[in-house]
């Protein structure tokens, strides 16, 4: 899940949402290709629970959520949605929704509790994911597997700082990925190495609001560490891609790539060249940072090199060669996207630890116009036009088929609603409908190749630093009883995809 630092003030009251809902455009239910796939997405730490069951080891999120004072609203993922023990029920629920795909992540510490390449393997963890994959296939649901979704083993973090040691982490991640390919790759045909490296780098090692919580005031270095972490992720991803392509892909016949998150950015003042350049620069600092090396096989974007100087690590000639050879193997672009913001060029010199390209982002432009109606979080506005523009930007720059691997929103005031109110999630339905219309326009009017759409999320879950406050699920979860109840949005999606794909324009 793509997050900002959630706190109580970020939640939008329910009464605010009622007025905003009336300002949303009508949904047109535009067509989609017959082979377009839809599904749901989750992450292991957010839904599995069973934090120390059956030999699972401790991850940095197990540590981070138990800090005192709490950085996660006094809540943790020890139980979460208890998906580990209720997996069959959840798969049957997805089957009842008619989904094509379930995108889930493997908890590294569930299969290698200490994380390292010389550490013991936990066969109980292997058995769980085998059972999940088999259960999905029995219900005609394709498993799409994320190898890493933010939960690095505490064992390797304690040993060498995880991402802060490129050589060690690259070797350990390659070993872990190889284990996943060898045990599950006979049935898994789509792999994602890392989820949202920007968030890992900036939120984990610059602001420190997500695990492991590093910044310049907690023993880290916000000037240098985020860029080192990003560099490590790119090289670890590339090693895993090469391993898959060389040793597994010829027989398993699957594909592999990475998921990048990103807002779209409009200029704060569209008449100003300075702010138009700032919007482009923000996209390059956010998406191009990882996209250019991984999908183009080249160095970081020039504006990053120019502005960050020695803070940004360099690729060796050998690493650049590896990037060039690996770029074509990344066969799709995984896109996590939620909203659009305005980008304003800052007049003052950047801070020493600037990570934006000296750009301020916000919901309002120079004329006081907002990007769109507000959802249940103050940073997430309904902006389908920006979504369409981002798909075009990514397609034009990288030329890879796009799979929308996360998209969704909480309804305004949903966390304060009764269960009956939350189940009638009309705001979320309109959000989904508008964003699906944007995909249709991108495909048929703009020529962008978009292959699938996975909603965030299958169910209400543990939303990182926000705990159990915001609810993004198409399934309501009572966090006391853990009872699951379908929301209206689940029924809408099942019907909408059936109708859209039946009336496609191919």
Give one word for 237, left, alpha or beta, with left for phi > 0 and alpha for psi -120 to 50. Answer: alpha
Catalytic site includes residue 406: yes
DSSP symbols for 129-163: HHHHHHHHHHTT-EEEEEEESS--BHHHHHHH-GG
Catalytic site includes residue 28: no
* CA atoms of 340 and 383, how far apart (whole Å): 6
Distances (CA, A) of 33 to 40, 87, 92, 276, 506: 19, 31, 26, 34, 7
Alpha helices in 458-503 (DSSP H): 488-502
Do 405 and 300 contact (CB within 8 A), yes or no?
no
What would the two tokens of residue 420 be? 């009956």
Strand pairing category for 190-195 and 255-261 = parallel
Q: Which of 101, 46, 188 is nearest to 454 (CA)?
A: 101
Distances (CA, A) of 21 to 101, 310, 362, 373: 29, 47, 21, 8
Q: Which position among 284, 406, 414, 463 bears the catalytic label?
A: 406
Q: Which position among 196, 225, 414, 463 bears the catalytic label?
A: 196
Q: What is the largest CA-CA distance in the chain?
A: 60
Angle at 2 between CA 255 and CA 68, to 5 degrees: 120
Distances (CA, A) of 42 to 107, 144, 149, 165: 12, 11, 10, 28
* CA atoms of 384 and 426, how far apart (whole Å): 17
Distances (CA, A) of 325 to 88, 130, 197, 241: 41, 32, 21, 10
The residues assigned a catalytic role are 196, 406
């Amino acid at each position: 899940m793509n997050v900002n630092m959630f706190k109580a003030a970020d939640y939008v009251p329910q009464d605010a949402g009622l007025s905003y809902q009336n300002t949303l455009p009508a949904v047109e239910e535009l067509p989609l290709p017959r082979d377009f796939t839809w599904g749901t997405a989750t992450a292991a730490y957010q839904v599995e629970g069973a934090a120390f069951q059956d030999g699972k080891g401790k991850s940095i999120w197990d540590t981070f959520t138990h800090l005192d004072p709490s950085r996660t609203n006094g809540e943790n993922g020890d139980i979460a949605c208890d998906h580990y023990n209720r997996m069959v029920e959840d798969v049957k629920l997805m089957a009842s929704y008619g989904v094509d795909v379930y995108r889930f992540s493997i908890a590294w510490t569930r299969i290698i509790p200490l994380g390292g390449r010389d550490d013991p393997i936990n066969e109980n963890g292997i058995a769980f994911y085998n059972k999940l994959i088999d259960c999905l296939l029995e219900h005609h649901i394709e498993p799409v597997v994320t190898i890493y979704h933010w939960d690095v083993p505490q064992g390797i973090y304690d040993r060498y700082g995880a991402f802060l040691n490129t050589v060690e982490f690259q070797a350990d991640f390659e070993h872990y990925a190889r284990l996943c390919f060898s045990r599950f790759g006979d049935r898994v045909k789509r792999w994602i190495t890392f989820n949202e490296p920007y968030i890992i780098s900036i939120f984990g090692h610059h602001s420190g609001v997500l695990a492991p919580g590093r910044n310049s005031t907690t023993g880290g270095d916000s000037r240098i560490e985020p860029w080192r972490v990003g560099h490590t992720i790119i090289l670890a991803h590339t090693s895993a891609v090469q391993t898959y392509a060389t040793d597994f892909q010829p027989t398993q016949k699957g594909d592999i790539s990475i998921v990048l998150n990103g807002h779209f950015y409009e200029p704060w003042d569209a008449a100003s060249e300075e702010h138009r350049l700032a919007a482009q620069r923000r996209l390059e600092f956010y998406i191009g940072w990882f996209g250019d090396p991984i999908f183009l096989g080249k160095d970081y974007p020039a504006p990053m090199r120019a502005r960050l100087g020695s803070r940004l690590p360099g690729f060796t000639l050998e690493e650049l060669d590896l990037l060039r050879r690996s770029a074509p193997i990344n066969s799709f672009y995984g896109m996590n996207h939620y909203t659009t913001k305005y980008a304003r060029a800052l007049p003052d010199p950047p801070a020493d630890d600037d990570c934006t390209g000296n750009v301020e982002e916000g919901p309002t432009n120079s004329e006081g116009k907002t990007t769109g109606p507000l959802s249940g979080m103050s940073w997430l506005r309904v902006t389908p036009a920006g979504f369409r523009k981002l798909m075009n930007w990514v397609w034009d720059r990288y030329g890879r088929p796009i799979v929308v691997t996360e998209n969704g929103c909480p309804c305004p005031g949903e966390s304060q609603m009764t269960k009956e109110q939350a189940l009638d999630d009309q705001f979320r339905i309109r959000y989904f409908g508008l964003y699906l219309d944007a995909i249709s326009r991108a495909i048929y009017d703009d020529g962008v190749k978009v292959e699938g759409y996975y909603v965030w999320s299958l169910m209400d879950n543990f939303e990182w630093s926000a705990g159990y406050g915001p609810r993004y699920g198409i399934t309501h979860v009572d966090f006391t009883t853990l009872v699951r109840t379908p929301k209206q949005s689940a029924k809408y999606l099942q019907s909408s995809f059936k109708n859209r794909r039946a009336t496609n324009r191919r």
